[in-house]
Structure 1
Amino acid sequence: MFRLIPLLCCCLFILPLSAQKRNDAFQLHIRKTTTPLKIDGVVDEEAWQKADIASNFHMVLPMDTSAAHLRTDVRMTYDDKYLYLLVENYTEGDGPYMVESLRRDFAFLKNDNFLLFMDPFDDQTNGFSFGANAAGAQWDGLMYDGGKVDLSWDNKWVSVVKNYPDKWVFEAAIPFKTIRYKKGITKWGINFSRNDLKTTEKSAWAPVPRQFPTASLAYTGNLIWDAPPPAAGPNISLIPYALGGISKDYDKQTKTKYRRDAGIDAKVAVTSSLNLDLTVNPDFSQVDVDKQVTNLDRFELFYPEKRQFFLENGDQLSNFGYSTIRPFFSRRIGLGGVPIRFGARLSGKLNKDWRLGIMNMETGKQEETGLPAQNFTVAAIQRRVFSRSNLGFIFINKESINYSPEKESGLPIYNRYNRNAGLEYNLASSNNFWTGKAMLLKSYTPGLSTKDWAHAANLQYTSKTWSIGWQHEYVGSNYNAEVGYVPRKGYFKMAPQITHLFFPVSGSILSHGPQLTSTWIFNEGAFSRTDNETMLNYGIVFRKRNTLNVWASNTYIKLLTPFDPTNLGKDSLLTGSQHNWNTIGADYVSKPQSLFTYALSARYGGYYANGNRLMTNTELGYRFQPYVSIALSANYNYIELPKPWGNTSFWLVGPRLDVTMTNTLFFTGFMQYNGQQKNMNLNTRFQWRYRPASDLFIVYTDNYLPEPFFVKNRALVLKLVYWFNI
């Protein structure tokens, strides 16, 4: 029976879908201005007086069946170089605007804000987002998968927010060179979204059902141009950097190292919708450090990519597959002391239906481990089918350069090459109620020729009251994705889930309802059960947007390899041993409009070897808006096990300080104490955005051994980045 499931799901995916656009009647006409505009948040220019107004917003939350309570007026115009936007966000009542800080790319739900979602190909799949919060912090990102926003994208544009007694005005100028669009097209998909925390109202110009984000491109209206937008013209940007640094490893008692380095990135607009990115000797020293976790898992943990070169327009490559079956994971390139020599990426739209992504990176040799110099190539092409679905192909090649294993005596032997090829179909119905994915992958590695493929599929139905989904996965025991993230092999997995929501007409509760999920994992060979977790959750969303979840679960695990349940190296449970336990838990997140916010979670239940585990997690935050934000996270695990492990406790504590003196001057201090790793990490970063997209960074990092207190290593880096257009 299980063999038929992939076939049934794939048959569902190829059903044709309606191509009708949901909000086609919503139109905003945009006309070219011949008078100059000053970006100052003042509505006094002639161009704004003549511009059409998008008003009469629709409420999305708390209800999506009425007009918005707050008034929002949007105007747009353009000239030969810029697309202009002016928004009047009217307010009610006394009290300050609610914002986190002046930091760029803020959290949507924790700020009074306005966002623009733009689909310049009108394909309801990819686009751009721009916006600001009520204090003037900018938001910008690339849109993908029909409604997700990648905030790592950072480009040159200007904006101002000006506050008045009854409204706040957001005015922006977006260069045509900043965005990508099809030449000659005169209709773009567009929508506007506003979030107001005092009234807890989220609204949109073109109506969006409340089960979907307002970023959903399936529900955009239309921006109608009076003439085709002007060609962006030659668009080449050079972004050089120079840095100096000093570091010392006290643990290894090495000499102080001095660092002087330079590199350059380049962005070349091949066409108005296709971009070439180049990098030589890139540096990522200013990137946020990873948020540590207490590791009680049997498999490799996932840490997200934060380096901007790999993130910008990278969704076509990095999002291929599933969260636990990624054939390409960019963190495999250039981390752990491996230098990146150079790289190139060509990405964007070939036309409305075809999308392309090609990346090539080369790393140098790491002398300590003998890891050879390597070349990484990944190529993906995507074809839109039906209204919003697409079919994609990916190829990944990792090749060692000038590497002869027999000559590397005394060092680990690495594969000369590893390759992966895959097909993927992404389903998205015109109204977004049906979504899904089907995927097939094959790996090629010297010495491995059977059970070297992977398959997965899922189908999800989401309405206002029901969410029903099915997902299954198969990964062969010899499937090998050396440039991917596949923590587990040799298994078949099934994961159905169902959720039902109730919406009271009045009262303090916005929605509530149960969710049932069950995950079953079977061994590839004997098809015997090795893992099973079934969870029943009841969730409550209050009208003030605070949330409460209570849940209970049953877990069964049959170990296929020895495992230390504390991950401290004390001893290991035997292969084949079986473990079963029950757990209860609760999670609460406070309302976001308070200056003091908090999130609390706890779980208690059984654990391996008839043991017990208590886990609590606390997230506290206070903001002196808009300049200072203080946060503290504290995670505690207490594990009771028989000997030789005994009782073990782990603390993971992370205070964080964010100071945004202006919207161009930032300071972040972040400390993490990890009791499991016996390490204390301090990371501070000062950033001055002295010109649009040009920065000065000063980054200081310390690692300590807490008991006894001892400095393990420390480093200081000063980095200057300058962006200029040719």
Structure 2
Amino acid sequence: MRHPLITLFCLLSVSLWAQKKNESYQLNLHRASSPIKIDGILDEETWRKAEVATDFYMVLPMDTSAARVRTEVRMSYDDEHLYLIATCFHLLPGRYFVESLRRDFTFGKNDNFLLFMDTFEDQTNGFSFGANAAGAQWDGIMYEGGKVDLSWDNKWTSVVTKDDEKWVFEAAIPFKSIRYKKGITQWGINFSRLDLKTTEKSSWAPVPRQFPTASLAYTGTLNWDEAPPQVGPNISLIPYALGGGSKNFTDGTSTTYKKEIGMDAKVAVTSSLNLDLTVNPDFSQVDVDRQVTNLDRYELFFPERRQFFLENGDLFANFGYANIRPFFSRRIGLNVPIQYGARFSGKINKNWRVGAMDMQTADVESQNLPRQNFAVMALQRRVFSRSNIGMIFINKKSLNYEPSDDPAVPVYSQYNRNIGLEYNLASSNNVWTGKILGLKSFSPDKKDKDFTHAANLQYSTRRWLLSWQHEVVGQNYNPEVGYVPRRNYVKINPIAQYLFFPKGKLILSHGPKITSTYFYNPSFKQTDNESIFSYAITFRKQSVLNVYGMHDYVQLLQAFDPTNSGKDSLSVGTRHWWNSVGADFTSMPQSIFTYALSTRYGGYYANGTRFNIGGEVGYRFQPYMSLLVTFNYNDLRLPLPWGETKFWLVGPKLDVTMTNKLFFTAYAQYNQQLKNVNLNTRLQWRYKPASDLFIVYTDNYFPENFVVKTRALVVKLTYWWNI
């Protein structure tokens, strides 16, 4: 299984030295000849003299012609800032479409302009900045050649102005807010425009429609007239002060009050290497995870949102696969206080990236949990044009700890270590991508069968998507600081998809997709299979319909309650087969009323049946308010002792943005499976760039009578201070 894929990787790697695809797209950047005021007005001498990037190319609906909507982009710089002004002209009359003034908006639901910068010209990592047509900001770090992590947040300023003919986005990005290589005079760069009235997505340097406009393989080149300025000492101190209280009404304890102070610091060791420090961090301002109905046999995954872990976070968090992650930062500090931590990460040069992190948590006497130290080392070496080789080492250690002989006392491991090596393949045109991975764990109580191997290869063109992935996870592979919900298996996952592009005016594309996922035990006897045949139709207005039929087979390797509600469990070794059908529909995004619906009906465990319907309905009172209601309903019909089980999960969310600096969010979640109603409200005032006041209020109720379970109120003030 392994060797043909490795051979193909090697053959592909030989041809990966190809020239950058959009090398001919050049924008010359000159130092500002006059002061620039960020007001969205193109009246400075600098802008009159600046070179203009225009004549964008259409990416969607089809990537075979010039863009119909006109966009003009100018850039300049001084000793402290990189400046940009984008003029986005209208083609059709009428309103623009945005969700709200909240930053880091959903790309496909907003008229927007985005900048993508490859500041090392390595076509892998970079930064993205932009805004929607109402002025809501977008910023994120780029990784894996075309993905953007919008959880990243930094200091910069922008303004959007509008008239009947156009909207204008003007921004100043401090050099202290980004990372780049000293002395380099060429950056990869591209500009993206989404205009929902025409349903047109376009870019300055052309990008094939099967890839996002964020794809760094297709950037043009920004030519500096001199090397970017070195900004001198670059140290940011981010102190916080917090006060609040919480009460658990179910156990009758008194209110617990919380008063804390702490600090984060960011030290730019060089223009491309950063040291992050934290003392007594608190993450009360982070959004609460949205609940889901869990009918799965394994642990669910929720992404990291905490700022400290985000910059260059892909070095650590993206090692491995979605369900084979040797390191998962949410294992650190969510239910245990972090005392302090340090993280050193970034680019040594164009070819080398490094990451090192050390975190210290406090002990928890009520759980007999000792103080623990988490150390992570990551190294990445660029090879060929866009591929890389990565290494990671993770060490978790309990300090001054000896396990108790008392069976009533919880036992924790004295140490757990993981080491991994992977090769990430990315061809110069991004058509071929893939990964080969090997991992091994070290634990005092688990020996042998502690190795994991996985590999995948994907071929993606306008019409074809072909993919192969396999995984082999050992029985004793033990990543205590990772996310590996299942062990002791062999997995094979082939995918094939083809698209047709009719010439009519109603349908943009349509085509079939076949996906099969097989699980085997180490003796290669099948334990699971899920095979799906689907057919997707994308309409010209960007609504999407997908219908599918699927077959499931499961041989249970552990006892399982098919309702996950605490009832009886099906026995180990029992076998279950069923078939089901379903459909998904997503409405066109250029409407102030949007919706998505998903439904499924068919068999289930123990010859039962399952009916599921879910989706979301949204309405925007743009640009100041949006209302979204998500829902999910499951009706399970099973033999006794389970019988008929019904679960509702409903989550209305109100998002009010008074300005692009003052936000209020309120949402409730009714989870019938967990028998809980959660109410969460958050007020955020960004009184200065990257400096915030948060007021967060949370309640949990019993759904039968709305009696309060728990209640909490937190007020937190942060300030970003550049030294």
The TM tier, using the shorter chain, reads over 0.9
Deviation at 1:92, TM superposition (A): 2.4
Using the alignment, how far apart are the partners of 1:574 and 1:9 within structure 2?
A: 43
- The 5 A counterparts of 1:626-705 are 626-705=623-702
How do residues 30-49 of structure 1 correspond to structure 2 at under 5 angstroms? 30-49=29-48
2:403 aligned partner, one-letter code:
P
**Residue in structure 1 matched with residue 218 of structure 2 by the alignment:** 219
Separation (CA, whole Å) in 1 of partners of 2:348 and 2:513:
42
Match of 1:498 in 2: 496
Q: Which residue of 2 aligns with 1:292?
A: 291
State the distance in 2 between where 1:439 and 1:89 align.
44
Shift, 1:309, TM fit: 1.2
What's the secondary structure of 1:48's corresponding residue? helix
Q: Which residue of 2 aligns with 1:339?
A: 337
Aligned twin of 1:374? 372
1:93–1:17 CA distance, 2 compared to 1 (3 A): closer
The letter for the 1-side match of 2:435 is K
Structure 2 counterparts to residues 65-464 of structure 1, below 5 A: 65-336=64-335, 338-406=336-404, 410-464=408-462
Aligned to 1:568: 565
User: Match for 1:615: what amino acid?
Assistant: N
Residue 21 (1) aligns with residue 24 (2): no
Give the letter aligned to residue 670 of structure 2: Y
Indicate if the aligned counterparts of 2:264 and 2:278 stay in contact, CA closer than 8 A.
yes
Return the offset for 1:297: 0.8
Instruction: Tell whether the 8 Å contact from 1:70 to 1:91 is kept in structure 2 after alignment.
Output: yes
Match of 1:615 in 2: 612
Q: What is the correspondence of 1:526-537 to structure 2 with a 5 Å cutoff?
A: 526-537=523-534
Letter in 2 for 1:100: E
Alpha-carbon distance in 1 for matches of 2:425, 2:3? 20
Give how far 1:310 is off.
Answer: 1.5
SS in 2 for 1:496: strand
For 1:610 and 1:407, locate their aligned partners in 2 and report how far apart those are by CA, in whole Å.
45
Counterpart of 1:158, as a letter, is T
Query: Identical aligned pairs, as a percentage?
Result: 67
State the Cα deviation string for residues 415-434 of structure 1 (Å, max 9, x = none). 10000000010000000000
* Equivalent residue letter for 1:444: F
> CA shift at 1:370, angstroms?
1.3
Worse-matched range after superposition: 305-314 or 103-112: 305-314
How far apart are the structure 2 equivalents of 1:628 and 1:150? 24
Instruction: State the partner residue of 1:592.
Output: 589
| Mapped contact 2:68–2:91 kept (Cα < 8 A) | no
Q: Which residue of 2 aligns with 1:557?
A: 554
- Counterpart code for 2:715: L
Q: Supply the distance in 1 between the matched residues of 2:466 and 2:139 (Cα, whole angstroms).
A: 32
Query: How big is the shift at 1:12?
Result: 5.0
Quote how far apart the aligned CAs of 1:7 are.
4.5
Note the C-alpha offset of 1:86.
Answer: 0.7
1:584-628 deviation line (CA, Å, top 9, x unaligned)? 000000000100100000000000000000000020000000000
CA distance in 1: counterparts of 2:173 and 2:565, whole angstroms: 53
CA distance in 1, matches of 2:405, 2:35: 69
Supply the distance in 1 between the matched residues of 2:251 and 2:358 (Cα, whole angstroms): 35
- How far did 1:233 drift? 1.3
Per the alignment, do residues 96 and 522 of structure 1 end up closer, same or farther by CA in structure 2, a change over 3 Å counting?
A: same
User: Does the 8 A contact of 1:9 with 1:458 survive in 2?
Assistant: no
Task: Describe the SS at the equivalent of 1:153.
Answer: coil
Contact residue 370 and residue 408 of structure 1 kept, 8 A: no
Q: Residues of 2 paired with 1:724 and 1:7: CA distance? A: 50
Distance in 2 (CA, whole Å) between partners of 1:232 and 1:408 is 59
- C-alpha separation in 2, matches of 1:488 and 1:721: 40
Aligned residues between the structures = 723
Could you tell me which of 568, 580, 585 is aligned with 1:583?
580
Shift of 1:404: 1.1
Shift of 1:34: 3.2
SS of alignment partner, residue 368 of structure 1: helix
Aligned partner letter, 2:503: V
By how many angstroms is 1:16 displaced?
A: 4.2
Given that 1:81 and 1:175 are in contact with CA atoms closer than 8 Å, whether structure 2 keeps it comes out as: yes
Provide the C-alpha distance between the structure 2 equivalents of 1:723 and 1:192, rounded to a whole number of angstroms.
29
Once the two structures are superposed, what CA deviation does each residue of 1:635-667 show, in whole Å capped at 9, x if it has no partner? Answer: 000000001110100000000000000000000
Give distance in 1, aligned partners of 2:225 and 2:692.
Answer: 38
- Are 2:708 and 1:723 aligned? no
What residue identity is the alignment partner of 2:480?
A: E
Q: Secondary structure at the match of 2:365?
A: coil
* 1:229 CA displacement: 1.1
Within the candidate set 684, 703, 710, 1:706 is matched to 703
For each residue in 1:239-293, what CA deviation from the matched residue of structure 2 results, as whole angstroms up to 9, or x when unmatched?
0000110111001111111111010000000001000000000010011111111
Q: In the alignment, residue 50 of structure 1 is paired with which amino acid?
A: K
1:513-571, Cα deviation, whole Å (9 max, x unpaired):
000011110012x3210001110010011111110000000000001111111112211
Query: What's the counterpart of residue 481 of structure 1?
Result: 479
Q: Does the C-alpha gap of structure 1 residues 407 and 570 become closer, same or farther in structure 2, counting only changes over 3 Å?
A: closer
SS in 2 for 1:495: strand
Q: CA deviation at 1:13?
A: 6.0
Matched to 1:594, the amino acid is S
Equivalent-residue separation in structure 1 for 2:326 and 2:216 (angstroms): 27
Q: C-alpha distance in 1, partners of 2:325/2:133?
A: 38
After superposition, what is the alpha-carbon deviation per residue over 1:3-27, rounded to whole angstroms, capped at 9, x for unaligned?
A: 6456446545644413310000111
State the alpha-carbon separation in 1 of the partners of residues 8 and 519 from structure 2. Answer: 19
Contact 1:13 1:436 in 2 (8 A): no
Aligned Cα root-mean-square deviation (Å)? 1.1
CA contact (8 A) 1:419 1:444 kept: yes
Question: How far apart in 1 are the matches of 2:314 and 2:667?
Answer: 28
- SS of the aligned residue for 2:99 comes to coil
* Contact 1:9–1:457 under 8 Å retained in 2: no
Distance across 1 between alignment mates of 2:615 and 2:88: 35
Q: Which whole-Å deviations, capped at 9, do the CAs of 1:661-700 have from their partners, x for residues lacking one? A: 0000000001000000100000000000000100000000
In structure 2, the CA distance between the partners of 1:368 and 1:349, relative to structure 1 (3 Å rule), is same
Give secondary structure in 2 for the equivalent of 1:168: strand
**One-letter code of the match for 2:67?**
A
Kept in 2: contact 1:61–1:202 (CA 8 A)? yes
Distance in 2 of aligned mates of 1:6 and 1:219: 26
AA partner of residue 172 (structure 2)? A
- Give 5+ residue unaligned stretches, structure 1: none
- Answer whether contact 1:153 1:313 (CA < 8 A) is retained: no
Q: Distance in 1 between matches of 2:504 and 2:379?
A: 49
TM-aligned CA deviation for residue 508 of structure 1: 1.1
- 2:345 alignment partner AA: S
CA offset digits 1:32-63 (Å, max 9, x no partner): 11311111011111000000000100010111
The answer to whether structure 1 residue 539 and structure 2 residue 523 are counterparts is no
Cα distance in 2 for partners of 1:408, 1:704 equals: 36
